[in-house]
Amino acid sequence: MQGFGVHTSMWTMNWDRAGAERAIAGAVHYKMDFIEIALLNAPAVDARHTRELLEKNKLRAVCSLGLPEHAWASVRPDAAIEHLKIAIEKTAEMSAEALSGVIFGGIGERTGVPPTQGEYDNIAKVLDVAAKHAKKHGIQLGVEAVNRYENHLINSAQQAVDMVERVGADNIFVHLDTYHMNIEEKGAANGILIARDHLKYIHLSESDRGTPGYGNIPWDAIYAALAAIGFKGGLAMESFINMPAEVAYGLAVWRPVARDMEEVMGKGLPFLRNKAEQYGLI
C-alpha cells in the first residue's frame, strides 16, 4: 500500500464487471498506483475478472467497506466475523493488498448513547478473529476512524490506535481520513502524530468531500505531519459525488459536492499530487 491511489467512488459504487472496467480504466488514465475498491456486496463481486483487469493494467488494489446492519460487530459479533471472512477472501481472490475502512461497524451506526465496554469487547473479538483469518490469506486489515455523525464507536486517531493495540495483530493498522480528522482531532497534524506507529493508509478528502484544495482542510499541515513521521503508506484521494441512496444516507451527502468527476480529478488530483511531491511523499 504505497503511492497514490483513488477511491472507486469517482466512477462507481457498484463493483460489477462494467463498474470494475470503468473504474480501473479511469485509474490507469490518471496514472494512479492503486485503486480502492468499495466492497458493498462482496459475495457478488467477480474476483477473477477484477484480478485479471488489475494484472493486465499493472494496477494494485485495496478494498474497503462498512459493515451492514445485520453484521454490526458491536452487537452481532458472530455475523460480523462471517461477513468479514467473506470480504477478506474476496479481497485475496482479487489480489488486493488490504481490507480497510469501517470494518468494526456500520456507516450510519449510532445508538444515541456513548459506546459501552461490551460493544468494544465485541469489536475486539471480531477484529482478533478477522486478523487471524486475513493473515492466512496474506491480507492486512485497516481500522478507519470516522466522525461522530457516521459512527459512535471509533472517531479519533487515539481510539483507532487503542483498538489496534488491543487486538495486537501484526497485520492490522490505523487508517485515517482528513475529512473525519477535520471534525474530530485537535489540530490537523495531531491525529497523524498520535497514530504514527500504526498509520499505513490515509484518505485525502476535502472538508465538504468535494474537490481537494477548494475547502478548508489545512493541507500543508497534513502533508508536513506525514513527512515528519516518515509516512510510507497509501495516499488515497476520496471524494463522493453522485452517491446511491443507501450510501448517501450513511455518509450524509445530500447534494452534489463537486460539479463532476472531471472537476475533482482535473483540479483536485493535481493539487494533492503537487503537495505530496513538495513534501517528498511521492
SS3 (DSSP) at 101:
strand
Residue 6 CB: number of other CB atoms within 10 A?
A: 26
Q: 85 burial class (0-12, 13-18, 19+ CB within 10 angstroms)?
A: middle
Give the torsion sign (CA, 93, 98, 102, 107).
negative
Active-site hit among 109, 185, 206, 238:
238
Cα end-to-end span (Å), the chain: 13
Phi, psi of 77 (to 5 degrees): -60, -40
Tell me the C-alpha distance between 224 and 203, whole Å: 15
Q: Would residue 174 be called left, alpha or beta, if left means φ above 0 and alpha means ψ between -120 and 50 degrees?
A: beta
8 A C-beta contact, residue 156 and residue 191: yes
Q: Is 97 a catalytic residue?
A: no
Active-site hit among 89, 119, 144, 150:
144
Tell me the C-alpha distance between 122 and 104, whole Å: 9
Of 208, 197, 201, 154, nearest in space to 7 by CA: 201
Give the torsion sign (CA, 149, 81, 171, 50).
negative
Q: Is 89 a catalytic residue?
A: no
Rg of the chain taking only CA atoms, in angstroms:
17
Tell me the C-alpha distance between 132 and 129, whole Å: 5
Which residue numbers are catalytic? 144, 238
